[in-house]
Chains A and B, each alone.
Chain A
């Protein structure tokens, strides 16, 4: 029987060595790793990690428990279907920035979704200073109804305290 895939999500105060300790424990337990994203968000360590493992969820929890304790992490483990080798290719990148205020993400993503955007990736940072934070967000996705409809939505939103830009991603295959 094929090994099962799990999604391991971990959060904790960032410190050096978390990735190596966690992955060493997983390797010792016979786990195979799939796709992963680690990010440092507001000084917190976060990782989402696909793990292929022979045993049950509880056995996986037991395997990483010592390192989780020693590193002060919170863990969530979900059984998942792994759809590897079927990456979608984004065809548009949108950048939004403005003074940090409530509702930017909801407003922008709701409008873009209604205009046909399928979001494949989203990253945001809070830059600037404590007094004057600047919210910066980059979205990549597939414009299922074309780029013009997304641009029209952004044109309406721009100038109301946020700046937006859109560029086509033309992927070169060689």
Chain B
């Protein structure tokens, strides 16, 4: 178990293109444990990308609870968005950019091709909030922060889609 420090801007690791994972070995499993441990101790955080803890590899983990319409903890290795649909603006923040939140336009529905922790390739469908998390984390693999995609708070053309919520 290892909780790692989360890198904050400015950091070279956050602005570079991460390397694809080609070997699914013990060190990858250790990285996944570190990501999970770090995520577990980050309050309110629903996703982490490996570059945020200093490993420039194409690995992300999301953790959107089932009660929020997500699939719980999900590892995506070498993820690629193969199709997307719709656009919606929503508020984002980032552990790597403390004390700032801003509006970002993301696709509503995405299909992602990725490998699991054993290297098996799969297609995943994500929607809404969870799709936003996946897009935010994949951006980290390409050296992009949500700051690179901010849209104006004033005259925000995209109303947030209201998902079915049970009070």
A residues whose Cβ falls under 8 Å from a Cβ of B: 39, 85-87, 89-90, 93, 121, 123, 138, 140, 148, 167-174
Contact = CB atoms under 8 A, between A and B. Distances in A.
B90 interface: yes
B90 A87 contact: no
A121 B152 CA distance: 14
Contacts of B156: 138
User: Interface majority SS on B: helix, strand, loop or mixed?
Assistant: mixed
B129 A89 contact: no
Contacts of B160: 93, 167-170
A100 to B, nearest CB: 19
Interface stretch (B76-84, B115-123, B131-139): B131-139
B166 interface: no
Nearest to A165: B159
16 contacts: A39-B154, A85-B99, A87-B99, A87-B100, A89-B91, A121-B153, A138-B154, A138-B156, A148-B167, A168-B165, A170-B90, A170-B91, A172-B129, A173-B94, A174-B93, A174-B136
A172 B46 contact: yes
B17 interface: no
Nearest to B136: A174
Given A85-B99, A172-B133, 7 more contacts: A85-B98, A87-B101, A138-B154, A138-B156, A170-B90, A172-B132, A174-B94
B142 interface: no
Contacts of A140: 153
Contacts of A173: 42, 44-46, 92-95
Contact of A172 (B93, B154, B162): B93
Instruction: Give the interface residue-count category, chain B.
Output: 20 to 34
Given A86-B99, A87-B101, A123-B154, A171 B92 contact: yes
A49 to B, nearest CB: 17
Contacts of A170: 90-91, 129, 160
B100 A172 contact: no
A170 B137 CA distance: 17
A172 B137 CA distance: 11
A107 B4 CA distance: 50
Nearest to B130: A172
A171 B45 CA distance: 10
Nearest to A140: B153
Contacts of A121: 153
B133 A174 contact: yes
B48 interface: yes
A50 to B, nearest CB: 15
Nearest to B92: A172
A172 B90 contact: yes
Nearest to A171: B91
Contacts of B132: 172
B91 A169 contact: yes
